[in-house]
């Protein structure tokens, strides 16, 4: 039963986020829960979840014979949904891989639905996989994805509701050695690409690796994904799933993996169970003392800039442009996570550069 639950709730995030004029901008810490589209009970229960992202899965959790029925059930579910629940920032659909005969049917059935915020594309091995999905979106949902040649005519005829939604974001699942070696091309393949997800179990299968608690066997792949996503300014970089989720041992493992992923540059993590979401939120959000330091830096930097000082000190440490940039990033994350940044600004309004 545990294995079945793990498969049902498998996948991804981040990144999370929402109705925006651009798909590439900062976003809050990401937690994501996957829901099998083949389960009517789980479709209904998903609307009661609290998560950055809920992804309806048409791929691994649905057998080939059940895919047409699951696709129809998901379309009905999303069509009858008046709006996205307030406790969920993003509704996504994980389609089948482009290399399968199911992907185009998935896109045809679901791409034009207004409640679809993102599409998770599995088994992305090269840029062509994302180019295929991008072209399909422009054909199936032109109001939200105008091409450069049709944007002027589309803007005059598109409905306000569809155009205000913005484009459907793409999230690429990185699952193979081939994908790791082609990350630069993958990250630049589509203007709608919003993030990368590391699918560790599939990667281990491809590489004939055995997953260990240290995760050292994934060090190169994880570092490559986080670096490539940052270089391409992708807002979501979602780390591998923690397969342990029961009891104190499972919680300790999850916390350790979250801290390790955050230290490597990931800003979110896949969840296999709703009980993991709170921990992922807490550990990927900026720490309170970190936010307080960043606010102090920004307040003092404004005063230093007014005095013509490019470098100064705070608590005995030198502060220059890169440090100020880091502080701005931390404060932006804190604001997205609805932390009381204004209260800290008021508390430290008298901070001076040293």
Q: What is the pLDDT of residues 272-307, one digit of tens each?
A: 888 898 899 889 988 899 999 999 999 999 999 999
Question: In which band, very low, low, confident or very high, does the pLDDT at 2 lie, cut at 50, 70 and 90?
Answer: very low
- Could you tell me the sign of the dihedral formed by the alpha carbons of 204, 96, 81, 14, in that order? positive
177: CB partners within 8 A, 6+ apart: 203, 206, 207
Q: Provide Rg for the chain, Cα atoms.
A: 21
127: CB partners within 8 A, 6+ apart: 182, 185, 186, 188, 189
What's the whole-number average pLDDT of the chain?
86
Predicted local confidence at residue 231, as pLDDT:
97
215: CB partners within 8 A, 6+ apart: 200, 222, 240, 257, 260
Instruction: Enumerate helices (H) and strands (E) in the chain, giving the number of each.
Output: 16, 10
From CA 271, how far away is CA 291, in angstroms rounded? 26
Tokens at 205, concatenated: 């299968």
Predicted local confidence at residue 338, as pLDDT:
80
Listed range (108-122, 153-167, 277-291) with the worst mean pLDDT = 153-167
Angle of the 219-231 helix axis to the 247-264 helix axis, nearest 10: 50
Question: In which band, very low, low, confident or very high, does the pLDDT at 210 lie, cut at 50, 70 and 90?
Answer: very high
Predicted local confidence at residue 7, as pLDDT:
37
Residues 191 and 133: beta-carbon distance below 8 Å:
no
From CA 86, how far away is CA 109, in angstroms rounded? 25
From CA 95, how far away is CA 41, in angstroms rounded? 20
Per-residue pLDDT, averaged over 186-198, amounts to: 97
Question: In which band, very low, low, confident or very high, does the pLDDT at 26 lie, cut at 50, 70 and 90?
Answer: very low
From CA 114, how far away is CA 166, in angstroms rounded? 10
Listed range (180-189, 205-214, 273-282, 320-329) with the worst mean pLDDT = 273-282
Where in 211-311 does DSSP place strands (E)? 236-239, 268-271
Per-residue pLDDT, averaged over 158-165, amounts to: 53
For Cα atoms 335, 336, 338, give the angle at the middle one, nearest 5 degrees. Answer: 65
Question: In which band, very low, low, confident or very high, does the pLDDT at 325 lie, cut at 50, 70 and 90?
Answer: very high
135: CB partners within 8 A, 6+ apart: none
Nearest alpha-carbon partner for 53 in 5, 25, 94: 94
Predicted local confidence at residue 22, as pLDDT:
37
Nearest alpha-carbon partner for 51 in 199, 241, 268: 268
């Amino acid at each position: 039963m545990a294995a079945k639950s793990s498969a049902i709730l498998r996948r991804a995030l981040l990144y999370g986020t929402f109705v925006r004029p651009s798909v590439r901008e900062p976003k809050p810490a990401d937690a994501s829960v996957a829901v099998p589209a083949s389960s009517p009970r789980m479709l209904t229960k998903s609307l009661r979840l609290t998560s950055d992202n809920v992804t309806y899965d048409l791929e691994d959790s649905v057998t080939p014979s059940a895919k047409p029925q699951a696709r129809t059930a998901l379309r009905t579910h999303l069509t009858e949904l008046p709006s996205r629940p307030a406790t969920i920032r993003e509704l996504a659909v994980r389609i089948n891989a482009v290399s399968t005969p199911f992907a185009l049917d998935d896109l045809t059935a679901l791409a034009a639905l207004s409640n679809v915020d993102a599409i998770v594309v599995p088994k992305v091995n090269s840029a062509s996989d994302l180019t295929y999905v991008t072209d399909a979106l422009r054909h199936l949902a032109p109001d939200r994805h105008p091409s450069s040649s049709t944007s002027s005519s589309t803007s005059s005829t598109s409905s306000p509701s569809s155009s205000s939604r913005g484009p459907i974001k793409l999230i690429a699942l990185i699952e193979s050695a081939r994908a790791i070696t082609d990350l630069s091309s993958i990250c630049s393949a589509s203007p709608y690409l919003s993030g990368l997800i590391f699918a560790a179990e599939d990667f281990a299968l491809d590489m004939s690796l055995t997953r260990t608690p240290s995760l050292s066997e994934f060090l190169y792949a994880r570092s490559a994904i986080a670096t490539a996503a940052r270089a391409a300014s992708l807002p979501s970089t979602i780390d591998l799933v923690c397969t342990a989720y029961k009891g104190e041992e499972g919680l300790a493992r999850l916390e350790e993996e979250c801290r390790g992923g955050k230290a490597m540059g990931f800003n979110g993590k896949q969840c296999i169970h709703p009980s993991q979401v709170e921990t992922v939120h807490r550990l990927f959000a900026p720490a309170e003392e970190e936010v307080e330091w960043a606010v102090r830096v920004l307040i003092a930097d404004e005063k230093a800039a007014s005095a013509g000082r490019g470098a100064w000190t705070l608590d005995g440490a030198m502060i220059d442009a890169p440090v100020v940039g880091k502080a701005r990033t931390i404060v932006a994350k804190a604001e997205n996570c609805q932390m009381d940044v204004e209260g800290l600004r008021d508390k430290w309004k008298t901070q001076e550069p040293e």
